[in-house]
Structure 1
Amino acid sequence: MKSKTTVYSIRIPVELRKLMDSVDVNWQEEIRKTIEQRLRKEIRKKMLKEARELRKRTKRISSAELIRADRDAR
């Protein structure tokens, strides 16, 4: 059976690792949550940018024309 997870390694300063070990925190979960939050934020930014670009391209088409074309297609 294949795993549904993967490993992503990073290097951190030794002092940071020592500090991390000195506190009772589930770092895997904390890092995973932070990555997920950042991904959601970046995906929203990307989608908003794409929506704005699409809106700029479609501004030249009036809503009345779209409605008329839709009605004529029926």
Structure 2
Amino acid sequence: PAEVRQMMDEMKDINWQSDIRQAVEELVKEKRRQALLKEARGLRQSTKNIGVSASELIREDRDAR
């Protein structure tokens, strides 16, 4: 909008291109983090109950040595 453009023009000491680029990069990184967390949660949920406890797997591994 014109009002925003006018306010930006009044603040000549701010490098808008750099600030906007930085804001967009941070947003992209945050969205990527959120997507990876969602994927990790899904993977964790799908492997949560594999029918064998962690202690059994560790014991089996130790016994195999």
Q: What range is the shorter-chain TM-score in?
A: 0.7 to 0.9
1:63 lines up with 2:54 in the alignment: yes
Matches within 5 A, 1:6-17: 13-17=1-5
Aligned to 1:22: 10
Which protein shows a greater Rg?
2
1:36 lines up with 2:22 in the alignment: no
Shift of 1:15: 1.2
**Greater mean alpha carbon deviation, residues 56-65 or residues 14-23:** 56-65
Aligned to 1:52: 41
Q: How many residues align?
A: 60
Q: Which runs of 4+ in 1 moved over 2 A?
A: 62-69
Q: Structure 2: 5+ residue runs without aligned partners?
A: none
Structure 1 CA distance, aligned partners of 2:37 and 2:29? 12
Q: Structure 1: 5+ residue runs without aligned partners?
A: 1-12
Q: In the alignment, residue 5 of structure 2 is paired with which amino acid?
A: R
Q: In the alignment, residue 18 of structure 1 is paired with which amino acid?
A: Q
Shift of 1:63: 3.3
**Identity percentage over the alignment?**
46
TM-score w.r.t. length of structure 1: 0.66
Looking at both structures, which has the greater relative contact order when contacts are Cα pairs under 8 Å and sequence separation is at least 6?
2
